[in-house]
Structure 1
Amino acid sequence: MCNQAEFFGFSQRMLSFCVPLILRFEEYTGYCDFGRFNRDQAKGFRAALSSPAKESKRLGNSTVLSTLKAVQRFFRWLSMQPGFKSKIASNAIAYFNLSEKEIRAATSSPSKPSPTMDQLKCALESMPSETILEQRDRAVFAIPMMTGIRDNAPASLLLGHVDIDRQMIVQDPKTVRTKNSKLIESVLLPLGPEIEDALFSWVRYLRDDLRWQADDPLFPQSQQRIDPHKGTVVDGIKRQVWSNSQPIRQIFKRAFAAADLPYFTPHRVRNTVVEYAYLTCRTPEEFKAFSQNLGHESVVTTLSSYGQIPLARQRELIRNAGKSKDLDAKLELLLERLDQTEN
């Protein structure tokens, strides 16, 4: 196989992912020279992955798809390198492709559960609020509930991104790690004073008590110090944003555990916000507003990515389809009046 220096067309992360998969292709071809690559190798490798020998364990559909994509990407890159341009035909690389039916089988999976808004409120209520770090963690937990913000964005939010007067979070891509570096202006959901206070009291503490400025972090890192008797002790905050979303996921794990609830990732809260929209929106315009709040340019994205209706709600809607709540209410009122007349 070519050495890693030739592989620098990939990022280090992609390199570590692709190398084992390409080695699998090389094992199939008996470590044949890449310059001799042809469509029969691609077709044979694809067939071997999908229907391995009896003594081999069959790979999952998603594993087959990711392996073929990685090997295909490698050969596309290799076909543009000096010494290989004339040896590797692009039409041969296309034989790594699966059929549409196979791709659907590989990419489809049962829906993942999302927390209900009541579960989120219960978890937030179970979180302590005695120390500065505990107050920060409560604010961290509250902000996805109120906005549906992606979990990597809060890790980089600054204090100036919170507009309490307008009830908004402005995700400025110049400093916030938003998807596709998109500006997202999210209006806070009116979920009640207990949720709002978890965020607003934290903002007021940073602004009024600590005198932090707009360019200071909204959710600062924990401050550590060395205690001669206890070792490393976490006892405060420092003016530095988190480098990734891992601390936020840890906060969510602790919160759900304290409330004796299953763990849901912060990203699943986006589904919860869409479910909340289903229950509260009365017009297409209102749902479009929720879609924009999530940073989506199209409502279709919201519906296709996060709009799956939970199974319990799906059953309720189907079982009650065609039934008029107004008609049922009028019928109950009529029966009640008949009872009063008879009595």
Structure 2
Amino acid sequence: MINRNNWRLVKDYIKYRAEIDQVSAKTLRLEETWLEHTLNWLGEKSIDQAPRIRPVFSDFVLSESENKYSSEYLRKLVSAHRRFMEWVSINKEGYRHKITPAWLKTIKLPRQPEEEREHEFVSYDEIIQIARTPIKSLRDQRIQAAAVLWFLSGIRIGAFVTLPIKAVNLDLLEIYQFPSLGVKTKLGKSATTDLLLIPELIELVKRWDQLVRSKLPDTSYWFAPLSPETGTFDRSIKAVGENRTSRAYKDLKELLDRSGLPFHSPHKFRHGYAVFGIKNFTTLAQLKALSQNLMHSNISITDGIYGMLSNGDKKKLLSSFSPATSSAPTDLNQKLDEILSLLKQNTPIKSE
């Protein structure tokens, strides 16, 4: 049984997150789902009894999980739980002396054995295979062009489905991820994104780009809406619905099935873009440009989140190392100094 007052507090918190913190609708839905675990943990007990409840929340979700949840998902559950408890302590009268800062510091997930997993991303060979897959319909052509553009740009799916035609400039190999154009970027960031110059892939994207420009105004979406009845462009749709990304996922699954490839989410194409750059760019200036293209504030974010190589690539790089051909110590020290300087500040270094 859920305590009704606890349920109201969660509703108040979600409203606060929407109005004051101004988080996205997607984040609100996720947080509300995560906090169901907090409500279940509290049960019929009032929230001021939380510090005395046993098992503690982290142990509760671990036992509840029974290996169903990944370590990353468990981390999100505990983080959402802590944020909610902090909010109650600070914003709701009568709780500050019961939900204390000292207790809040104890809300953490016990150290877990690290999961052995391969970094999932779309490889160069896979994107070429996707680009060469025969298409049978306008819907096929749309998702094929979309997948290729994801790989060439590293754009997030939420931004991509809101991208107007006028935000794509293939003459300059640029995408304008500007909220002022209606593009829904993460945290409302604005940036010009440069595409990787891979001729075969650029030509495929250009064919779709030329088609949508010949049929639709430049204010229409590049991932153009199609009529389910006729399979042709639907000019009547002027706004992106909440399920727009779902359409991309479904079409992508069908395309990957026909390509003979395992399913990769759209975000794994962004990972593929990052890994391709890290493997092929040789200067710090190029890596900084890659990081900026991903709309990251510094290289350490890019490397930490997206930079993990596959086991095969790691082995190939390490086995090819030879002390006889490696940089001299002075050159290596200079490079290390440049890297440390670059990580400490966002100032671009000079190209070599």
Range into which the TM-score falls when normalised by the shorter chain: 0.7 to 0.9
1:216 maps onto 2:220 in alignment: yes
Are the counterparts in 1 of residues 58 and 108 from structure 2 also a CA contact under 8 Å?
Answer: no
Corresponding residue of 1:178: 185
RMSD: 3.1
Note the residue ranges of structure 1 that are not aligned, 5 or more in a row. Answer: 226-232, 327-343
Q: Point out the more displaced range, 155-164 or 279-288.
A: 279-288
Corresponding residue of 1:123: 130
Write out per-residue CA displacement over residues 173-229 of structure 1, whole angstroms, 9 at most, x where no aligned residue. 23111111111211121112x32222212222232x32x33322111212134xxxx
Instruction: Give the share of equivalent positions with the same residue, in percent.
Output: 18
Corresponding residue of 1:73: 83
Are the counterparts in 2 of residues 224 and 236 from structure 1 also a CA contact under 8 Å?
Answer: no
Corresponding residue of 1:229: none
Q: Point out the more displaced range, 115-124 or 88-97.
A: 88-97
Alpha-carbon distance, 1:62 to partner: 5.2
CA distance in 2, matches of 1:295, 1:158: 19
Write out per-residue CA displacement over residues 40-63 of structure 1, whole angstroms, 9 at most, x where no aligned residue. 437x4257538869xx95786556
CA distance in 2, matches of 1:70, 1:256: 34
Q: Which has more strand, going by share of residues?
A: 1
Shift in alpha-carbon separation, 1:313–1:323, aligned structure 2, 3 A: farther
Q: Point out the more displaced range, 241-250 or 11-20.
A: 11-20
1:144 maps onto 2:179 in alignment: no
CA distance in 1, matches of 2:285, 2:306: 18
1:236 maps onto 2:247 in alignment: no
Normalising by structure 2, we get a TM-score of: 0.75
Select 1:34's aligned residue among 18, 26, 47: 47
Letter in 1 for 2:4: C
Corresponding residue of 2:293: 293
CA distance in 2, matches of 1:168, 1:200: 12
CA distance in 1, matches of 2:113, 2:87: 24
SS of match in other structure, 1:10:
helix
CA distance in 2, matches of 1:98, 1:86: 24
Normalising by structure 1, we get a TM-score of: 0.77
Note the residue ranges of structure 2 that are not aligned, 5 or more in a row. Answer: 16-27, 327-352
Alignment of 1:190-339 (within 5 A): 190-192=197-199, 194-207=200-213, 209-210=214-215, 212-225=216-229, 234-238=231-235, 239-240=237-238, 242-243=240-241, 244-322=244-322
Are the counterparts in 2 of residues 127 and 138 from structure 1 also a CA contact under 8 Å?
Answer: no
Write out per-residue CA displacement over residues 86-127 of structure 1, whole angstroms, 9 at most, x where no aligned residue. 54333223322346xx2xx37866233222111111112114
Shift in alpha-carbon separation, 1:322–1:169, aligned structure 2, 3 A: same
CA distance in 2, matches of 1:188, 1:62: 31
Corresponding residue of 2:41: 25
